[in-house]
Amino acid sequence: MYKTILVPVDLRIYRDLEKSVAVAADLGRHYRASVTLLGVSGTGPNIVAADPEEYAKRVAEYAAAKSVQYDFAFAHRHVTSVDPSVELQRRIQAVADEIGADLVVMASHRPGVLDYLWPANATSFVAHTPLTVMVVR
């Protein structure tokens, strides 16, 4: 059913990603699909890395560690953005289009008061993409 799965990962909150990465590995195994972990970072330093090159290295290391943990070969990609909070949806969609993703698996949190004012990344992406999206809490 699915051939190419994309999983956006924000390494600043890697503990919150565990369930979505596990689900993606299970789906990838079940459907014999490729699964790509996508890291999107800004052009400057953040709490994960000093620069985009180091962030890309961290995404590669994360994918390698998850490949061992789940005994499933994850691919990985990294893209930069001048303002990830504004461009995140477009960056995810561009990579999904590039790799021919037919499913996006995204981690999300339980809705809170602020989500009524500013929708979560997953909510915004689901509302604006033609792709099938599985949101994992």
Would you kindly state where each structural domain of the chain is located, as residue ranges?
4-136
State the pLDDT at residue 112.
Answer: 52
Residues in the chain with pLDDT < 70?
A: 109-120
Q: Summarize pLDDT for 2-28 with one digit per residue, the tens.
A: 999 999 999 988 888 999 999 999 999
Domain 4-136 falls in which CATH fold? Rossmann fold (3.40.50)
pTM: 0.91
According to the model, what pLDDT value does residue 115 have? 45
- Compute the CA torsion angle 83, 89, 91, 96 (nearest 10 deg): 170
Q: Is residue 103 within 8 Å of 5, Cβ to Cβ?
A: yes
Q: Give me the pLDDT at residue 114, please.
A: 45
Which pLDDT score is estimated for 14?
Answer: 81
